[in-house]
Amino acid sequence: MARIKWNRICFPKNKGGVGVIDIKIKNKSLLAKWSWRFTLEREALWRKIIAAKYGSTMLQWRFRTSNTRDMSVVWKGIMENTKDPFVEKWMGIDSFRWEIGKGNKCLFWEDIWCGVRPLRVDFPRLFRLAKIKNGSVKDYSFLNCFKEVNWLDFFIRPLLDRELALLNWLKEIVCIKVLIPYVEDRLIWVHDNKREFSVKNYQS
């Protein structure tokens, strides 16, 4: 009798497997879904309680993953799940993007909303000089766009020539964006065409 690797058996039938559900991956995906719900259900009571106890001090849509000793057993399990390398591939910071509407929920420097990385990563020098490091996209706009912004007001000192060159580069990137006052900012999951976390897609 020929032996077949377990992970091969767990492949979907359309990929040559048997379609048997891998319970370990299923469990990780269901735990990961709580991370997704935490980002979306901002008005839910359970979310407000978790955010008050374990929320990130920087990214309001994330929870902290340090100081686990004061966490409940259930939430500690959800949090530890996010540290798994397999889960990190699907639920890490790089798996999320912001579609900008009003610009009031997305952080200008810290979140990914213009490009594939946070602006603080592409412009670390400007980020260090910024007066408001946790300001929203809206905080940095003027009349719902960025073309008429007085950028020099956002820094703690006058910029040097090389810093002005970086600022011009930054302006070229963000000036293509326009805020939409009647639309809420939307956090999306990049691994799905519908832009929403799916346990099914996570397992595939």
**What is the mean pLDDT of each successive set of 10 residues along the chain, which is 204 residues long?**
61 65 79 82 83 71 69 81 82 87 93 93 97 94 93 96 97 95 91 79 60
55 and 84 together in one domain: yes
Residue-level pLDDT at 1: 46
Pairwise CA distance, residues 168 & 182, whole Å: 29
Same domain, 82 and 135: no
Q: Is residue 19 part of a domain?
A: yes
| Whole-number Å distance between alpha carbons of 183 and 108 | 17
Residues 136 and 153 in one domain: yes
Is 106 inside a domain boundary?
A: yes
Give the number of other CB atoms < 10 A from CB of residue 48: 13
Phi then psi for 155, rounded to 5 degrees? Answer: -120, 155
Rounded Cα distance between 55 and 42, Å, is: 12
Per-residue model confidence (pLDDT) at position 8: 65
Residue 186 lies inside a defined structural domain of this protein: no
pLDDT on residue 22: 72
| Host domain of residue 156 | 101-174
pLDDT for 30 equals 84
- H-only helix segments in 15-160: 23-40, 45-54, 73-82, 85-91, 119-122, 124-129
Which pLDDT score is estimated for 38? 81
Q: Are 42 and 50 in contact (CB under 8 A)?
A: no
90 and 141 assigned to the same domain = no
